[in-house]
Structures are given as structure tokens and as C-alpha cells.
Amino acid sequence: MRTIKKLQVGNIPALKTSLLKWAQQYTEVVWLDSNNYHQKHSIYDAVLAVDAFTAIETSAKGAFDRLQEYQQVTRDWLFGYLSYDLKNDTEDLHSENFDGLKFPDLYFFQPKKMFLLKDDQLELQYLRMVDDEMDEDLEAIFNPSEEDRKKPFLTPVEIQSRIPKEKYLEKVTEMLGHIQRGDIYEANFCQEFFSENAVIDPLRVYEHLNAISRPPFAGFLKLSGKYLLSASPERYLQKKGSTLISQPIKGTAPRGVDPDDDQKRINDLQNDPKERSENVMIVDLVRNDLSKTAKKGSVKVEELCRVYSFEQVHQMISTVTSQLAEGIPVVEVLKTTFPMGSMTGAPKISAMQIIEELEETRRGLYSGAVGYFTPEDDFDFNVVIRSILYNEKEKYVSFSVGGAITSKSLPENEYLECLVKARALKQVLEQEQ
């Protein structure tokens, strides 16, 4: 049971900053922020969960079954992540590539303390065992100490590419060979950028990344010294009542140098046959995935290939919905749709097999999902892209970027698209913190 308290609040940007700083005292932190990017399917403006009462941490084998049991037993708010390598639980797949980050494949926790922000209302939900701390916490949040952020500046991080450009071009060419032979129609091919012996201030890096990106599915995750600093623009899957909503992204263009150039790039992206075909192929994959748990005839494409603009890029986004059939556990919905189609390809299993052969890094949490379950069996998860991952103990920092390879792909153009997506991530790591 939780004690609930609601407050009217002002100066929302300052409150968000204060909440996130206050949360750093805890070992487990999940912060999700929409950056006021209000969509039809938005529920909260921001959510903070801290301090695990219970938790589940597991490798891929049997992970979804264990998560389903945990979710059904707790029937409470749960926050955490699904790593891309849970594919090894749903299909006969494996991951042998290098892993410098060493994150668990799945991690969820039941928070003792939660904060839900919507418009000018802040809702606190505390487990009864800690509800006597509520007033003290509010005092610390609304009247933060000046000493909270006096930290020394850190040396900029030097980023390296895991795959040299020429090797990247060779690998894309090899993937095009698979497409020409009919093994796949499309696959998402990614490359890692990394730094070893890296010491960063995760909160500062996240704050800077979020400030220059302002995405609708931003997130800061801290779990026992493992961090995710995410500027994700993409929703993986949301459940509201019996309605499921997926919003895959496929199609990217950089922002223009002035309003006229910007509008031209929007129009070019909207009408680009390659980008539209990428998006439509993934929409078909998502429709197929959702049909596995949907009421007959309920899968619908609510929006197809609409271009949305963000601080760094324009993105082509589609929205697919369905109605969940009765009697299906909520974790089963995730299991039958994961990993998301926008980060795999079509056909899905063949694409994942080829991805594993050609990529050189285990994806881990990258192209996985971060989000939460509610006590009412609803959930909302993003896609972990445009994100920095950091293992504090290993001093290893990493980010990956990629794009969809189709028969119309030009290896050089795909490489340039990766650099566009990497720009903001590289920028925040290579400057003084």
C-alpha cells in the first residue's frame, strides 16, 4: 500500500532539476521526462522512481517468465529495463560479441518513493514503510542545499569508433548482399563508439544531452553504478487499459540551417521513397507482432509516415494500435513484440541473426527499452536510442548508432546518417563536464 500526496507546483523546470539532483543519493533511480512534448498518448510530463524495496535482476534465459511472475506477485509500480539481448529468450538466438558495459539483461525494481508530474500537479506515492520521510524529502527538494552540485570539472572523454569507416562500408555492402539474395528485406545495422578508463559525471552529461535534444522519451537510469543517459525520441510500446500503442521511427534527416532549408528537409524526408519504404516495412512488422495478442480485426495504423521535428533531427514516425485480447498477461505482450521492429528488421529473426554476425558489439541495453508497469497492469516503454551507457566500476562509456539498410541503401549515405545521430552524444562527452 502507498501513501499518496498531491501538490500544486510552479517553476516546473527548476522542480525537475531539483528532483533529479535529490534522487542521486539513492542506488536505484529511474527518471523519465517528456520534455513537455505533449502527444495524444502522453500520460505524465515526468516520472521519478527511487530506492528499491524489491528488485529482479536476471540474464536472458527465462527472463520474461521471471518478469511475469514478479509483476503478478507485486501488483505495484515497477521500473526498469529490457535489454536487446532478451531476444535470446524469445528465439533460438545467442550473443557472442564483445560487451564492455556488462549490464544485466533485465532489471526491474519496486520503488519505495515515486513522483508523478502532470501539468502543475506533483503526486507523491510512498510505500507505507517510508511515508514518514515525505515531508523531510519535500523540504530537501524544494529547498536544495547550495553544496549539492559543487563538484570539480572532469577531463573530456576521448571517443573511439569500434568499426573503422572502411570496415563499416564493407559490412553494409555484405548486408546488401543478404538483401539481394532474399535473406531479408531490411535490417538495422549499428556501430559502437566508446571510451575506456572514462570518468564522467552522469547527471551533468544527462542534463547537457537533454538540454540540446529535448526528446519526448528522455531518461536517466542509475542502478548500482550502471547508468543510462537517454535522449530517445521513440516509444516502443504503451498499454492503456486494453489499448496498445506502438510508434516506430524509421527515416531521419538533419535539421536545416534556416527555416526555409529546414522545411525543404522535412518535405524531402516526407517524400523520400527509400525512407517511406523503410517505415512501411517496419509498420507491417509491428502490425504482425501486435496481432499475436490482439482482438481479431483490432490492429490499426493510426498514423503513417508523419514527420516530427526534434532539436537535432527530423524523424518519420508511424503509430500502430491494437486492442488486447482477454486473458493475456501484460508481460506476454512485451515478449511477443520484443525486440522492437524498428531496431531489428524484416523478417525479424533472420534480420537479428545477420545483425549478430555483422555487428562487433553486444547491444545490451542499447536498442532495448526502459519504462514502467503500473498496479493496474498498464505500462509504457521507450526505445533506447540516442543514449549514453556508462559502467562506473569498469570506467567504460559507450553509445551506439545505426540505421535501416534496405535494397536502396548507399553505404556512404548510411555512414553519414550514423554520424548525424552520433553528433549530440559525442559532443556532450568530449567537452568539459
State the cell numbers at 406: 534496405
Return the residue matching grid coordinates 510552479. Answer: 10
207 backbone dihedrals φ, ψ, rounded to 5°: -60, -40
Contact 154, 395 (CB under 8 A): no
pLDDT average, residue stretch 379-387:
97
Question: Omega before 164 cis (within 30°)?
Answer: no
Q: pLDDT tens for residues 188-221?
A: 999 999 999 999 999 999 999 999 999 999 999 9
| Among 172-176, 179-183, 281-285, the least confident range | 281-285
Contact 173, 335 (CB under 8 A): no
State the cell numbers at 25: 543519493
Pick the closest to residue 386 from 366, 369, 371 (CA basis): 366
Q: What is the pLDDT of residue 55?
A: 98
Q: pLDDT tens for residues 185-194?
A: 999 999 999 9
Higher pLDDT: 309 or 368? It is: 368
252 backbone dihedrals φ, ψ, rounded to 5°: -135, 140
Q: pLDDT tens for residues 115-157?
A: 999 999 999 999 999 999 999 999 999 998 776 555 666 778 9
Total domains present in the chain: 1
The secondary structure of the chain, three-state, reads: CEEEEEEECCCHHHHHHHHHHHHCCCCEEEEEECCCCCCCCCCCCEEEEEEEEEEEEECCCCHHHHHHHHHHHHCCCEEEEECHHHHHHHCCCCCCCECCCCCCCEEEEEEEEEEEEECCEEEEEEEHHHHHHHHHHHHHHHCCCCCCCCCCCCCCCCCEECCCHHHHHHHHHHHHHHHHCCCCCEEEEEEEEEECCCCCCHHHHHHHHHHHHCCCEEEEEEECCEEEEEEECCEEEEEECCEEEEECEEEEEECCCCHHHHHHHHHHHHCCHHHHHHHHHHHHHHHHHHHCCECCCCCEEEEEEEEEECCCEEEEEEEEEEEECCCCCHHHHHHHHCCCHHHCEECHHHHHHHHHHHCCECCCCCCCEEEEECCCCCEEEECCCCEEEEECCCCEEEEEEEEEECCCCCHHHHHHHHHHHHHHHHHHHHCCC
Residue 432 has pLDDT above 80, yes or no: no
- Where in the sequence numbering do the catalytic residues fall? 234, 250
Beta bridge partners of 382: 235
Higher pLDDT: 38 or 173? It is: 173
Question: Could you tell me the CATH number of the domain that includes residue 156?
Answer: 3.60.120.10
Q: How many residues does the chain have?
A: 433
Q: 16 lies in which domain range? A: 2-430
Q: What is the pLDDT of residue 149?
A: 53
| Among 140-149, 320-329, 388-397, the least confident range | 140-149
Q: What is the pLDDT of residue 214?
A: 92
Q: pLDDT tens for residues 247-284?
A: 999 888 889 989 999 999 999 999 999 899 989 999 99
